[in-house]
Amino acid sequence: MAHFMDVHHGMHDITSDQLHEAHRADLAIEKDEDVHFERAWADPASGTVYCLSEGPSAEAVQRVHERAGHRADEIHEVPLTV
């Protein structure tokens, strides 16, 4: 299993409720892909959302996000962490 940081652009003015709802939508189906979404951070001003996940591949992470209705614009495997 690997860790991934994915990035969503264009999420201007996202609210806390919307971020939590999007995260819940991921959690509800993530087991189908053996993925787990651990954290998410949002900057409503620039419309940027970062999600940290663990899973077998970037493609598996993207499949969860797509089915949940919010495809990621970038997914980076992050093998190094502090």
Binding segment for a second copy (CB under 8 A), chosen from 28-36, 43-51, 60-68, is 43-51
Residue 3, phi then psi, degrees to nearest 5: -100, 145
Residue 19, phi then psi, degrees to nearest 5: -65, -45
In whole angstroms, give the CA distance from residue 70 to residue 25: 10
50 is a site residue for a second copy (CB under 8 A): yes
Rank residues 41 and 73 by Cβ distance to a second copy and give the closer one. 41
- Per-residue contact flags (x/-) with a second copy for residues 2 to 41, judged by CB under 8 A: -x-x--------xxx--xx--x---------------xxx
